[in-house]
Amino acid sequence: MKNKICVIGLGYVGLPLAHAFSEKYDVVGYDINNKRVNELNSGIDATLELTEEQVKKALSNGIRFSTNLEDIKECNIYIVTVPTPIDEQNEPDLTPIIKSTEAIAPVINKNDIVIYESTVYPGVTEEVCVPILEKISGLKFNEDFFCGYSPERINPGDKEHTVTKILKITSGSTPYIAKKVDELYKSIITAGTHLAPSIKVAEAAKVIENTQRDVNIALINELAMIFDIMDIDTNAVIDAAATKWNFIKLTPGLVGGHCIGVDPYYLTHKAQSLGYVPNLILGARQINNGMGKYVAERTIKLMIQKGINIKNSKVLILGITFKENCPDIRNTRVIDIIDELKDYGCDIDISDYWADETEVMNEYKLKLHNDMDINAYQAVVVAVAHDKYKSLKFNNEKQVVFDIKSILENSDGRL
């Protein structure tokens, strides 16, 4: 039987995956966002992960983007790539993955395979999603339908490590299905695949990838705070230490986005539910979540040292996306700097030529100011290392410039 693939969720993960599969298979991209689907059908990707040429190439290959479940009924492989966020208590919010599972359950047929790519804690696929699929479809797991898990490894904004160039972990609910899932991905992933021995192993592998990075960055952030007290240049220390062959070179900064700042909470949730308190992971999360407040306090101290009156002072924040050269504003920790400076009584302007103005307003109730004189502010915080900011020239000696990612030649402060 020829594979007909449905990719559920057309965001940073789903769209590039659907595009890659469309080179070899009949693909339907499904999403509940009408605006998103209409843009894609007209050749536009607002996430900028694909160029207009790439979207139109996928359309010419026969890919269909739809919000109608009727359009996916003829598929036999369903790949779920929806977000898995956390709530205000930092607990996993499985609502998107549950709703997606409920949506496709009525349309799956005998021998179909449902593959999950969303980041979850070990056990979600088989313990949360499978019962939903069985109950609604009336089909029996591993007899009538099957499941797989192949965690996404998309790095938003990265034009070098694209989906087909990143080695893919695969898994399946039976040995035969595991091999079939592996062969499916191997047909488009030029970097190759790694077949995990079980779905839970694949789920666990995904969640520790970003947990490890989170813990490592927390160490560097804590060192930056220690070296600031010692009046030592953190980046100079890192450059010196990196001359050792096995030193992992990371730089301090804000940890946001939909992966590193979120995934560890999925693992800690599962660990705590089993009676184990993961102190190291939770401690790392506490350090990284506090960096926005730390940057704001450092900026305020520098302003006081320059004799700047804090209340009603004009402060410019350069960048609100969660990382450089990317329009993604999800879980950006720049918002922590903004909120803290507002608490001090500062008047804040935000500029970001990558971010979508409407999205920023809807998500954070903030207005972007991209036509501004950078020298007219009492303080400027370069929060995101967008390429355009690297060539900025500051000519106001009375203002404070805090450069979080050390992209400027000169600044008053940096991590």
From residue 91, give the alpha-carbon distance in Å to each of 86, 210, 310.
5, 17, 36
- Average pLDDT of span 325-330: 93
Mean pLDDT score, 47-59:
92
Asked, for residue 30, whether it belongs to a domain, the answer is yes
Contact 26, 2 (CB under 8 A): yes
Residue 231 lies in a domain: no
- pLDDT for res 158: 83
pLDDT at 405 over 80: yes
Q: Which residues are registered as beta bridge partners of 4? A: 26
Q: What is the Cβ-side half-sphere exposure of residue 83, based on CA atoms within 13 angstroms? A: 13
Arithmetic mean of pLDDT, 371-382: 95
Range 276-293 average pLDDT = 97
Residue 1, pLDDT above cutoff 70? no
Q: Tokens representing 227?
A: 């070296």
pLDDT tens sequence across 168-214: 999 999 999 999 999 999 999 999 999 999 999 999 999 999 999 99
Q: Which value, to the nearest 10 degrees, does the dihedral of the CA atoms of residues 274, 275, 278, 283 take?
A: 120
pLDDT number for residue 154 = 86
Q: What angle do CA 195, 200, 205 make, to 5 degrees?
A: 65
Assess whether 198 and 91 both reside in one domain.
yes
The answer to whether residue 21 sits within a structural domain is yes
In angstroms, what is the C-alpha Rg of the chain? Answer: 23
Do 21 and 145 share a domain, yes or no?
yes
> Which of 206, 230, 256 represents a domain boundary (last residue)?
206
Q: Is pLDDT of 159 > 90? A: no
97-154 pLDDT, tens digit per residue, is: 999 999 999 999 999 999 999 999 999 999 999 999 999 999 999 999 999 999 999 8
pLDDT in tens, 221-263: 999 999 999 999 999 999 999 999 999 999 999 999 888 999 9
75, 129, 147, 259: the catalytic one is 259
Instruction: Answer for the pair 325, 389: CB distance below 8 angstroms, yes or no.
Output: no
* Residue 278 falls inside a structural domain: no
Find the mean pLDDT for residues 351-363: 95
Average pLDDT estimate for 365-390: 95
Q: Which of 155, 172, 206 is the last residue of a domain?
A: 206
Counted domains in the chain:
2
Round to whole Å and give the CA distance between 175 and 263.
28
The answer to whether the CB of 327 falls within 8 A of the CB of 356 is yes
CA distances to 224, 260, 286 from 217, in Å: 10, 10, 12
In angstroms, the CA 163 to CA 179 distance is 20
CATH at 311: 3.40.50.720
Domain assignment of residue 329, given as a range:
290-414
Supply the pLDDT for residue 157: 83
Q: Are 133 and 148 in contact (CB under 8 A)?
A: no
Q: What are phi and psi of 374, to 5 degrees?
A: -65, -20
Residue 179 lies in a domain: yes
Q: Rounded distance, CA 247 to CA 105, Å?
A: 48
Residue 259 designated active-site = yes
Assess if residue 317 is contained within a domain: yes
- How far apart are the C-alpha atoms of 269 and 168, rounded to whole Å? 25
